[in-house]
Amino acid sequence: QVQLVESGGGLVQAGDSLRLSCAASGRASSTYALGWFRQAPGKVREVVAAISWSGGSTYYADSVKGRFTISRDNAKNTLYLQMNYLKPEDMAVYYCAAKDGIATRPPIAGYNYWGQGTQVTVSS
């Protein structure tokens, strides 16, 4: 089992930056991939970014490429999402997720464990 707790959400203005964190516990974080997902009201949950177990490979949705950066610190069992140049369309509940496995490439589906989510609100 893996427990995930997100933090760092809040209300910002368009163009601002925000950093989300996700604290993982229950198992060594080097045994699973991690990802950030988001869900806006009335929309399907979508993958934002994902990172392999080692941190050596990452994936970004086209909508956030060049603005968001995913990273992880396995020594601290923590996942991060640095979000720059936020837009109103980035507003959503952001979820941290973990998927068992040590594949080289980070998965974008099939995650086993989920956090409770943190709200990101972007005003225009």
Please write the tens of the pLDDT for every residue from 4-60.
999 999 999 999 999 999 999 998 777 899 999 999 999 999 999 999 999 999 999
Given this model, what pLDDT does residue 92 score? 98
- The per-type count for the chain, helices as H runs and strands as E runs, is 0, 11
Residue 122 has pLDDT above 80, yes or no: yes
How far apart (Å, rounded) are the C-alpha atoms in residues 71 and 61? 15
Rounded to whole angstroms, the Cα distance separating 103 from 54 reads: 9
What are the beta bridge partners of residue 3?
A: 25
At 46 the pLDDT is 97
Query: Which residues are bridge partners to 59 per DSSP?
Result: 50
Q: Give 96-112 as a DSSP string.
A: EEEEE---SSPPSS---
